[in-house]
Amino acid sequence: MELVFALITYLGVQKLDTSYFRSIDDCMYFAVRINKNVGVPNRVDDGGQTPMSRHYKAVCEPSKVNVKDVKVY
């Protein structure tokens, strides 16, 4: 097991992807870029009246993974 940094990407509350980086600087670079994206349009709320937007959110978390089983950038 090796300590790496997991870049976890969400769209709204839905988890989209997890990527692993050896360097926190690389992880933070991508997290900042993802967090600057605009919302995804054309989503309608429960009442069907007001268009909503979901936003991308990315966070970096320390994680231990087996580097033989997981691709680490």
Domain edges within the chain: 2-65
Mean pLDDT over all residues of the chain?
Answer: 88
* Per-residue confidence (pLDDT) for residue 55, from 0 to 100: 86
- pLDDT, tens digit, 9 for 90 and up, residues 46-68: 666 666 677 899 999 999 999 99
Give me the mean pLDDT over the 65-72 stretch: 95
- Is the pLDDT at 21 greater than 70, yes or no? yes
Instruction: Band the pLDDT of 27: cuts 50, 70, 90.
Output: very high
* Strand ranges, E, within 1-73: 2-11, 14-21, 40-44, 51-54, 56-65
* Per-residue confidence (pLDDT) for residue 31, from 0 to 100: 97
